[in-house]
Amino acid sequence: MGSALPLGDPAPADGLLPASAAVGADDRAFGVYLHVPFCRVRCGYCDFNTYTSDELRGARQVDYADHAIAEIRMSRQMLEASALPARPASTVFFGGGTPTLLPADDLVRMLGAIRDEFGFEPGAEVTTEANPDSVGPDDLVRLAEGGFTRISFGMQSAVPHVLAALDRTHDPARVPLVVRWAREAGLDVSLDLIYGTPGESIDDWRRSVEAVVAERPDHVSAYALIVEDGTKLARQIRRGELAQPDDDLEADMYELADDLLAAAGYEWYEVSNWATDASHRSRHNLGYWRGDDWWGVGPGAHSHVGGVRWWNAKHPSAYADRVTAGVSPAVGRETLDDPTREVERVLLLTRIREGISIETLHAGGGHAVAGLMADGLVDAKAALSGMVTLTRRGRLLADAVVRRLLDDSSELSSRT
């Protein structure tokens, strides 16, 4: 039913934010994430805060849109009372779970509440995730008519035995159908893949990437499988029923995907994401990586405004009880100190194609760049222009690059 919520301070029932959250808000974009925590079945690898019908313990899917709308209305009032400037939403993202298990009309109603409370920037990006077997052509038309601009399909693989290992329920043959229906409805399309599944060969992975390229989506995500504690997959690996993902094979798969996607005209813009051009990058996710503000609606959803992070009650029943009572659904929060914010800034900006400005690094971080160039982890031409930008080898070792940028800075600072 999802990973445990982080530790933090209790969140105030009135949801008010400290004055520090408003500092610089006019210079930050504002997005809304709406979590729909329902799934038809639980995938064996999934550690998200999701619930099948027999895990809801009194919460009802049919009531969910009304509860989310109540939080949306509350959120605008809380931001206003906290002296945050009124900002229209530049992006909205419906994630899950499987948002499209709810009727399309419910998704459109929730989107309408966001529009009513915040307004949208011109050309706002509005995305929903979907499983290929959770939507039909009429649903997609309704979503497009209701204001959605983009859909992200959880394809994961084109190979039946790989999908079976992941407990995915859709037929690979349905993916071309839903892509065509989405196109006909006027929606931009993203396809999501997972690589490194136990039993998946490099040829299986090639087949999946080639299947994606054949559909010509606007955007592609490819994530290495992570074995999370407490999941069915972790138990299967621990019992020896499945093999642990192989790091070297995953690296080969990443390089193959990058080669195939680049040859097809896609450019990487974040370690795990490619787009046909800059206009089709996920602006919502870029907001996360750039440290913008967002309000997370729904059970277990996380929010971030001006260095203040908070999270909602995890179970749909507990969440519903709080919003029905008119109190903030947030149960914990933390105000990030300057060192933590700096670590996150370096961690996130390093992952994107534009990279991070060398002059914004601590002295030791700047000093580390030469060594990273020599090791082939940072693009030399970009570095000479003042930016740390990862090479493909650097993308494979992104965490190590970040450690060197941060560790070198702290070591040098301790000597000065």
**Domain identity same for 281 and 344:** no
How many other C-beta atoms can be found within 10 angstroms of the C-beta atom of residue 22? 16
φ, ψ for residue 3, nearest 5 deg = -70, 160
**Domain identity same for 347 and 252:** no
Domain range spanning residue 33?
9-289
Does residue 294 sit within a domain? no
Q: Which residues contact 199 (CB under 8 A, 6 or more apart)?
A: 161, 162, 165, 242, 243
User: What is the rounded distance in angstroms from the CA atom of residue 68 to the CA atom of residue 63?
Assistant: 9
Tens-binned pLDDT, residue by residue, of the chain (416 aa) = 445 667 789 999 999 999 999 999 999 999 999 999 999 888 988 888 899 887 888 889 999 999 999 999 999 999 999 999 999 999 999 999 999 999 999 999 999 999 999 999 999 999 999 999 999 999 999 999 999 999 999 999 999 999 999 999 999 999 999 999 999 999 999 999 999 999 999 999 999 999 999 999 999 999 999 988 988 999 999 999 999 999 999 999 999 999 999 999 999 999 999 999 999 999 999 999 999 999 999 999 999 999 999 999 999 999 999 999 999 999 999 999 999 999 999 999 999 999 999 999 998 899 999 999 999 999 999 999 999 999 999 999 999 999 999 985 444 333 32
**Domain identity same for 239 and 349:** no
Q: Which helix (H) or strand (E) holds 128?
A: strand 120-130
Does residue 147 sit within a domain? yes
Query: At 194, which CATH number?
Result: 3.20.20.70
Q: Which of 289, 304, 324 is the last residue of a domain?
A: 289
Does residue 324 sit within a domain? no
Total domains, the chain? 2
How many other C-beta atoms can be found within 10 angstroms of the C-beta atom of residue 72? 24
pTM of the model: 0.94
Q: Strand pairing partners for 310?
A: 303, 333
**Which tokens belong to 404?**
């060197």
Report how far apart, in Å, the C-alpha atoms of 334 and of each of 9, 251, 278, 318 are. 6, 35, 34, 21
Q: Which residues contact 107 (CB under 8 A, 6 or more apart)?
A: 65, 94, 99, 100, 128, 143, 146, 148
Q: Strand pairing partners for 25?
A: none
How does pLDDT run across 377-391, given as a tens digit for each residue? 999 999 999 999 999
**Domain identity same for 394 and 268:** no
Does residue 1 sit within a domain? no
**Which tokens belong to 379?**
């693009």
